[in-house]
Structure 1
């Protein structure tokens, strides 16, 4: 199993219920063949640059352990979700 870090930014217009649903969905994908170590919700922050006429986003950082195929499935689901502005999955070197 490899260590990964997932950072994604949601639209600020997304309601809290929808944010919770997305977080649970992404955690569920990870937990199919891995485990979530930590979920850190940073909340609303100003973006470094404007994305699709948006200046703010809701940041979420997830640290997890998983096999190599989980980040691919996670990436696919993050690209499909309309509320996700940007995301990045990186492998953490031990």
Structure 2
């Protein structure tokens, strides 16, 4: 069966228990239609880049699915009807990520690929001026 990642955003005024119930409902839909949910991750209440339906924040939930296309169509149909879900997106993937996703790995987000700070390196600019009359070396 094809593999999918399904992410939905729930309204900010929902309690965490209600968000968990939405995820359980999605799991039930997939399992009733012959698929299985490999992993469920709740990413928590996060700020949105722009307002969606008067919401500045949303609860993010990600499901990794191993399901037939009919099960996915039913999940998307019911997710679109639900008033508590403000956005959702499903993508097909070649393989599911092992371990926690990037959103759950705190260490990767903190300083990623940026270099250390405070080492005195100013990115190629000279810190002292050349005396008058002498040319600076390139």
Q: Normalising by the residue count of structure 1, what TM-score does the alignment of the two structures yield?
A: 0.93
User: Structure 1 residue runs of 4+, over 4 Å off?
Assistant: none
Query: Is the contact between residue 19 and residue 59 of structure 2 (CA under 8 Å) also seen in structure 1?
Result: no
Give the number of equivalent residue pairs.
94
Match of 1:81 in 2: 82
Larger radius of gyration: 2
Distance 2:23 2:61 in 1: 9
Q: Secondary structure at the match of 1:77?
A: helix
Q: Deviations over 1:48-75 (max 9, x none)?
A: 1111121100000100100111111001
Q: Secondary structure at the match of 1:14?
A: coil
Distance 2:82 2:60 in 1: 15
When the two chains are superposed, the root-mean-square deviation of aligned CA atoms in Å is 1.1
Distance 1:53 1:41 in 2: 22
Q: Secondary structure at the match of 1:31?
A: helix
Distance 1:18 1:44 in 2: 13
Match of 1:70 in 2: 71
Instruction: Tell whether 2:43 aligns with 1:42.
Output: yes
Q: Secondary structure at the match of 2:14?
A: coil
- CA drift of 1:17 comes to 2.9
Distance 1:21 1:50 in 2: 24
Structure 1 gap ranges (5+): none
Structure with greater proportional strand content = 1
- CA drift of 1:15 comes to 2.1
- CA drift of 1:89 comes to 1.0
